[in-house]
């Protein structure tokens, strides 16, 4: 069976004002992969994501979901949105119903599911994001972190195979970030393919299995966190800073401690330093 679940083929997108935001983008994402798209503001992350469930139609090229190119008619798009769910960066772009519960129910209801199934999915999704006690509240009365969790619940309730989250941790406090990452990791463990965007190298270093680096609408590199974050030249080019662990390893190396540059996860980095220290003594 083919492992590729999402593919971009020679994707280009030009906004009506002439901005060429996506330039010949090719990538393949495997089933159950945990992918991060990185790049500075304006690199094209959000524009790329809007293509992945057909919210915008490419100027040229195509997106394939489960081996089939997206077709831009109402019926086919509804099918695609069942497979690929997007959580927008700003919850205000997503939440609009008078109560949390109605908001989460909106997606599954639109899929034409029976009332009972809609209710079941809504309760399950709210439970998963730990918002079941807020279901009668108005979304605009919630904190940023709570709104984000409700927005995620709305997508969970549609049971997509692929979940796309545009800067899911931006603007949240440390606890809010942890809560969102815990939910995303749980979804991944349950078998979902996850794609997130971020310019936070610390979060992505610990989170992603694969990183796609965007710059000016182009992919400039794809690799594991270890490959990407030990490549200081590349990070500079993409206007990203190496994570603290990579910076520490670089300094220690300069100081003569033989440590492996590629160990950028906190745990691995600590092990590497301890090993080098023991070897030295």
Binding site for Mg ion (CB under 5 A): 45-46
Shortest distance in whole angstroms from residue 174 CB to ligand ADP: 23
Do residues 213 and 234 make contact, with C-beta atoms less than 8 angstroms apart?
A: yes
- Between 46 and 62, whose beta carbon lies closer to Mg ion? 46
Token pair of 145, please?
Answer: 């972190």
- Between 47 and 230, whose beta carbon lies closer to ligand ADP? 47
Shortest distance in whole angstroms from residue 199 CB to ligand ADP: 8
How many angstroms separate the CA atoms of 87 and 196, rounded? Answer: 9
Cα 244 to chain centroid distance, Å, stands at 22
Binding site partner of 21, from ligand ADP, Mg ion, none, Cβ cut-off 5-8 A by kind: ligand ADP
- Between 17 and 255, whose beta carbon lies closer to ligand ADP? 17
- Between 42 and 261, whose beta carbon lies closer to Mg ion? 42
Shortest distance in whole angstroms from residue 42 CB to Mg ion: 8
Token pair of 229, please?
Answer: 């974050």
- Between 91 and 108, whose beta carbon lies closer to ligand ADP? 91
Shortest distance in whole angstroms from residue 20 CB to ligand ADP: 8
Shortest distance in whole angstroms from residue 241 CB to ligand ADP: 17
> What long-range pairs does 183-192 form, CB within 8 A, spacing at least 24?
183/128, 183/129, 183/149, 183/152, 184/152, 186/128, 187/156, 187/163, 188/32, 188/34, 191/32, 192/32, 192/160, 192/161, 192/162, 192/163
SS3 category, 108 = helix
Radius of gyration of the chain (CA): 20
Binding site partner of 242, from Mg ion, ligand ADP, none, Cβ cut-off 5-8 A by kind: none
Do residues 86 and 145 make contact, with C-beta atoms less than 8 angstroms apart?
A: no
SS3 category, 211 = strand
Binding site partner of 42, from Mg ion, ligand ADP, none, Cβ cut-off 5-8 A by kind: ligand ADP
- Between 132 and 216, whose beta carbon lies closer to ligand ADP? 216
Binding site partner of 152, from ligand ADP, Mg ion, none, Cβ cut-off 5-8 A by kind: none
φ and ψ of 156, to 5 deg = -55, -40
Binding site partner of 43, from ligand ADP, Mg ion, none, Cβ cut-off 5-8 A by kind: ligand ADP
Strand partners, 36: 196, 211
Binding site partner of 15, from ligand ADP, Mg ion, none, Cβ cut-off 5-8 A by kind: ligand ADP
Binding site partner of 238, from ligand ADP, Mg ion, none, Cβ cut-off 5-8 A by kind: none
Shortest distance in whole angstroms from residue 157 CB to ligand ADP: 25
247-257 burial, b for 16+ CB within 10 Å, e for fewer? ebbeebeeeee
Shortest distance in whole angstroms from residue 209 CB to ligand ADP: 21
Positions touching ligand ADP (CB under 6 A) are 15, 17, 19, 21, 39, 41-47
Q: Which residue is nearest to Mg ion (CB)?
A: 46
Q: How many CA atoms lie within 13 A of 264 on its CB side?
A: 25
- Between 239 and 277, whose beta carbon lies closer to ligand ADP? 239
Selection from 41, 38, 34, 64 nearest residue 51 by Cα: 64
């Amino acid at each position: 069976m083919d492992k590729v679940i999402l593919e971009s083929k020679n994707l280009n997108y030009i906004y009506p004002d002439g901005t060429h935001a996506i330039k010949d983008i090719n990538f393949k994402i495997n089933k159950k992969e945990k992918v991060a798209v990185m790049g500075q503001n304006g690199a094209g992350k959000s524009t790329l994501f809007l293509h992945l469930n057909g919210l915008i139609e490419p100027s040229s090229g195509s997106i394939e979901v489960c081996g089939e190119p997206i077709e831009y008619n109402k019926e086919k798009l509804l099918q695609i949105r069942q497979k690929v769910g997007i959580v927008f960066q700003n919850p205000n772009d997503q939440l609009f119903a008078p109560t949390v519960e109605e908001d989460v129910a909106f997606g599954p209801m639109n899929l034409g599911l029976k009332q009972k199934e809609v209710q079941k999915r809504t309760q399950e999704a709210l439970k998963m994001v730990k918002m079941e006690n807020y279901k009668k509240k108005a979304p605009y009365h919630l904190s940023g972190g709570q709104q984000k969790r409700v927005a995620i619940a709305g997508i969970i309730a549609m049971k997509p195979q692929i979940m796309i989250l545009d800067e899911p941790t931006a603007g949240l406090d440390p606890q809010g970030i942890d809560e969102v990452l815990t939910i995303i990791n749980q979804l991944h463990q349950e078998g979902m393919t996850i794609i997130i965007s971020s310019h936070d190298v610390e979060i992505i270093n610990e989170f992603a299995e694969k990183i796609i680096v965007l710059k000016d609408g182009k992919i400039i590199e794809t690799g594991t966190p270890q490959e990407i974050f030990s490549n200081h030249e590349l990070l500079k080019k993409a206007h990203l800073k190496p994570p603290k662990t990579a910076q520490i390893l670089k300094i220690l190396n300069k100081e003569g401690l033989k440590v492996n540059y590629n160990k950028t996860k906190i745990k691995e980095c600590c092990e590497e330093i301890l090993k080098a220290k023991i070897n030295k003594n």
